[in-house]
Amino acid sequence: MPYTELVIAVDFAIIILTATLLSIIAQKTGQPAIVAYLFTGIILGPVVLDVVSGSSIVELFSELGLAFLLFLIGFEMNFGVIKSILSSVIRISVYQTILQTILAFSIAYLVGFTLMETFIIALCTVFGATPVIVKILSDKKEITTVAGRINIGVLIIQDIYLVIILAIFNAESLSSPLNILISVLWVLGLLALIGAFAIVASRYILPLIFDVVVSYNKAFFVQAIAWGFLFVSLTEYLELSVEIGAFLAGLSLGQLRYSAELKGRIRPITNFFMIIFFSSIGLQIEGSYILLYWKEALFSSVVLMAGNFLIMFYLIRREKFDMETTFLGSINMIQVSEFSLVVGALAVSRGFIQEEILGYFSLMAIGTMSISTYFIYYNKQLYEKIESYLERFRLPDERNVKLEALKNHAIIIGYNEVSRLIIPLLKERYGKVVVVDNNPHKINIKNEEKVSYIFGDFFQEELQQETSLDEAAFVFNTTRNIYLNLMILQEASKEAITFLRAESIETADEYYREGAHFVIVYDLITRQKITDLVIAFLNNPEKFKSLASADIEKMK
C-alpha cells in the first residue's frame, strides 16, 4: 500500500532528527540550542549537504514560528510596565537606528562597496535579530527584566521601521518623495489603528469573551489561538508586519487575568515552530556565493558587533538606567538580523544590488547571530567578570528600576479551606505566599490574606517559572494528581519543604521515596477519628454529640 505518498514532508523529519542530534551535542558541549538549530539548516541546506530544500510546510511553520514568538512576547508585556519605560525606549531606538545606520554605512563604504550597495547594506543591517534575542531571553527568564523590556521595546520599534522600509521598497516609484511619504504614513496609520483596536479589545472585548469560556479548557486555548491568527491574517492581508500583528494580539491577551495559563499552553507550540524557523534560516542561504565576500563580512561583523554594543551602551546609559541593565541591554543586541536576508533579497529583486551581496548578508547574519548567542547566553557571567571595570562609568543619579524576584517564598497549589488554614503560618514564616488555582471563579477571592493569586494549571513550566518553583522554600499541593506531585518533586529545589496529597498508601509511599516531606492521605489521617465517631454514636451518644457538634459548627 502506498503509504509513502502520504508521509508529510520527509524534509521535516530530517530537520527534526538533525536538530535533535545537534542539540544533544550542543548541550553536552555547553553550546546554546539555537546554535544547534542554526547549524541544522546550514548543514542540511545548500551550503553543505543540500538535502533539504525547504518545502511549503517548513516555510509555513517557520513563518508561524516568528508569529507565535512575538505573540508570546506580547503576553509578557504589561501596559503599566511599558508605560514607565516607553519614552526611554523610543529615544533609545530612534538614536540607535540613526547611529547604527551611520556605522553600518561607514563600514560598508570602507570595505569598498558602491554607494548604492552601501546604502542598502546600511538599511539592512541595523536590525537586531528579534528571534534570537527573544528566544534566549525567554528561555533564561530574562524577558521581564528591565534590560529585557528595553530590548523588546527597541526590537518592536525596529520592526515598525522595517515595515516602513519594506513599504518604501515596494512603493510604486521610489523617485517621488511624495509617494514614499504616502506609503510611510499609510503604514503608520494602519499600525496605529490596529494597535488602538488591540488596546480597546483588551479592555472591553476580551475579558467578556474569555470569561465565557475560561472554565472550558480547550475552548479557552483555541480562542486565544484564534485571536492571534486574526491579527496575523489582518496584518498579512494589509502587507504589514506579521510580527507586529502577533505582538499586538499577544499584548491585548496579556492584560487578561488568565495570561499565565495561556502563555504556558502556547509556549510549547512556539518552541516547536521556532526549531523549524531557526533551521530554515540556514536553508535559505545560497551556497554558491557565501564565501565571495568573506573578508568584508568578517571585518564588518567584528566592527559592527563592537559598534552596536557601544552605541547601545551609550544610549541606555544616557537614560540613566543602572549599570547592569545598561550592560545587559547592550550586549544582547549586537547581531545582524536574518531580516537582512529578506530585505536584501527584495533589494536584489528591485535591481538595487547584485545578487552576490546576499552572500555578504548571509555570512554576517549567520555569523553574528551564532556569536551573539553566546554573549546573550552568558551575559550575566560576562557582566560579573567585568563589573569592576565598568565602575568608572557609573552615574551618580542612575535609576534603579529593579523588578522584584520571588525567592524563599511559599507556593500553595489549590485554594481551599486547608490552604486558608495554613496561609497565615506560611506568611508569617516566608513573607510571600503565592496561590495557584485553575478555578477561574476563585480568581476573585477576597484577598484578605494578601497573597498573590495566579490562575492556571500548575503543570505548565510557565506557571512554575512565574511562581519561581525552583526558588520556593515551601510547596504545598492540595490537589492529588500524581503527575503534578511527581513533577513538583522533580522541579522544586532540594531544600524546599514539600507537602503533597495522595489518595492511596502506595502513592504516598512513592512520594516519600521521591523526597516528599509530608503526604496527606485524608483517609489515613481521618480514619481513626471517623471510626471513633461511629463507635461513640453507638456506645456513647453524649460523647458523639459533643464531638459532632463542634465539626458541624465549623461546616456552617
Partner 1 sequence: MFEIILILTLIFVAATIMLALTAKAGQPTIAGYIIAGFIITFFVEGENLVDLVQLGILFLAFIMGVRSGSEDVLVIAKNGLKITVILLPVIFIVAFGLAWLLGLNYLNATYFSIAASLSSTFIETDLKTDFKELNLVHRKLAESINVIEDFIAIIILLLISIVPLTAQSVGMSLGFGIILFFLSLLIRQKVFPWLARLVKQSSEFIMLLGLSFLAGFIGLCVLFDVSIIVGAFAAGIALSKSPYNIKLLDTMGSLNEFFSAIFFVTLGALVKQPDLEFIVYSLLIILITLIVKPLLTMQLITWEGYNKRTAVNTALQLDHVSEFALMIAIQASLMGFINSSLFNAIIIASVITFIVSSYTSRYNGHIFNVVQRFIHQGRTVHDEQDAKVFANLDHHVIVVGYGIKGRSIVKALHSNEHAVLVIDNDPLHYESLRTSKIPFLLMDAHDEITWKTAMVNKARLIVVTPHIQTVSETVLRLDTEASIIVSSYDILDARHLLSLGSAYVNVPFILACDDIKKAVISALNSNPDDFRKLNQKELQRQKSDED
Interface with partner 1 in residues 257-286 (CB under 8 A): 265-269, 271-272, 275
Long-range contacts of 376-384, Cβ-Cβ distance < 8 Å, separation of 24 or more: 376/132, 376/133, 376/136, 376/137, 376/140, 376/331, 376/332, 377/32, 377/136, 377/140, 379/327, 379/328, 379/331, 379/332, 380/328, 382/331, 383/324, 383/327, 383/328, 383/331
For residue 299, the minimal CB distance to partner 1 (Å) is: 35
For residue 174, the minimal CB distance to partner 1 (Å) is: 25
What is the 3-state composition of the chain as percent helix, strand, coil, each rounded to the nearest 5?
A: 70, 5, 25
Binding mask 40-69 for partner 1 (x = CB under 8 A): ----------------xx-xx--xx-----
272 Cβ partners below 8 Å, 6+ apart?
A: 61, 65
**Is the CB of 146 or the CB of 232 nearer to partner 1?**
232
Cβ proximity of 301 and 121 under 8 Å: no
Beta strand segments in 393-437, E? 410-413, 433-437
**Is the CB of 210 or the CB of 313 nearer to partner 1?**
210
Interaction of residue 378 with partner 1, rule CB under 8 A: no
Answer for which of 351, 400, 404, 483 binds partner 1 (CB under 8 A) is 483
Answer for which of 226, 291, 386, 403 binds partner 1 (CB under 8 A) is 226
Q: Which stretch binds partner 1 (CB under 8 A): 89-97, 103-111, 399-407, 475-483?
A: 475-483
For residue 45, the minimal CB distance to partner 1 (Å) is: 18
**Is the CB of 82 or the CB of 269 nearer to partner 1?**
269
Which among 414, 462, 423, 461 is positioned nearest to 442, based on CA atoms?
Answer: 414
Name residue 76's amino acid.
Answer: E
Answer for which of 287, 427, 486, 493 binds partner 1 (CB under 8 A) is 486
Instruction: Cell numbers for 156, please give them.
Output: 518592536
Instruction: Cell numbers for 511, please give them.
Output: 512520594
DSSP string, 437-493: ES-GGGGG--GGG--EEEES-TTSHHHHHHTTGGG-SEEEE-S--HHHHHHHHHHS-
Which among 183, 148, 344, 156 is positioned nearest to 243, based on CA atoms?
Answer: 156
Residues between 428 and 447 with contacts to partner 1, criterion CB under 8 A: 429
Residues between 162 and 221 with contacts to partner 1, criterion CB under 8 A: 209, 212-213, 215-219, 221
Q: Which stretch binds partner 1 (CB under 8 A): 6-14, 200-208, 291-299, 314-322?
A: 6-14
For residue 197, the minimal CB distance to partner 1 (Å) is: 16
Answer for which of 81, 225, 390, 445 binds partner 1 (CB under 8 A) is 225
Interaction of residue 380 with partner 1, rule CB under 8 A: no
For residue 230, the minimal CB distance to partner 1 (Å) is: 6
Taking the C-alpha atoms of residue 202 and residue 254, their distance in angstroms, rounded to an integer, is 8
For residue 27, the minimal CB distance to partner 1 (Å) is: 5
Taking the C-alpha atoms of residue 470 and residue 493, their distance in angstroms, rounded to an integer, is 5
Taking the C-alpha atoms of residue 244 and residue 232, their distance in angstroms, rounded to an integer, is 8
**Is the CB of 4 or the CB of 400 nearer to partner 1?**
4
Q: Are strands 452-455 and 474-477 parallel, antiparallel or unpaired?
A: unpaired
**Is the CB of 398 or the CB of 471 nearer to partner 1?**
471
Residues between 288 and 347 with contacts to partner 1, criterion CB under 8 A: none
For residue 345, the minimal CB distance to partner 1 (Å) is: 15
Distances from the Cα of 279 to the Cαs of 18, 38, 119, 208, in angstroms? Answer: 10, 5, 29, 39
For residue 247, the minimal CB distance to partner 1 (Å) is: 16
Residues between 489 and 548 with contacts to partner 1, criterion CB under 8 A: 490, 495, 497, 499, 502-505, 507-509, 512-513, 515-531, 533-535, 537-539, 544, 548
Answer for which of 144, 330, 477, 481 binds partner 1 (CB under 8 A) is 481
**Is the CB of 170 or the CB of 504 nearer to partner 1?**
504
Residues between 81 and 140 with contacts to partner 1, criterion CB under 8 A: 139
Q: Cα 240 from chain centroid?
A: 22
Question: Total residues contacting partner 1 (rule CB under 8 A)?
Answer: 117
DSSP string, 107-174: HHHHTT--HHHHHHHHHHTS---HHHHHHHHHHTT-TTSHHHHHHHHHHHHHHHHHHHHHHHHHSS-S
For residue 319, the minimal CB distance to partner 1 (Å) is: 34
Interaction of residue 17 with partner 1, rule CB under 8 A: yes
Residues between 20 and 39 with contacts to partner 1, criterion CB under 8 A: 20, 23-24, 27-28, 33
**Is the CB of 8 or the CB of 178 nearer to partner 1?**
8
* DSSP category for residue 5: G
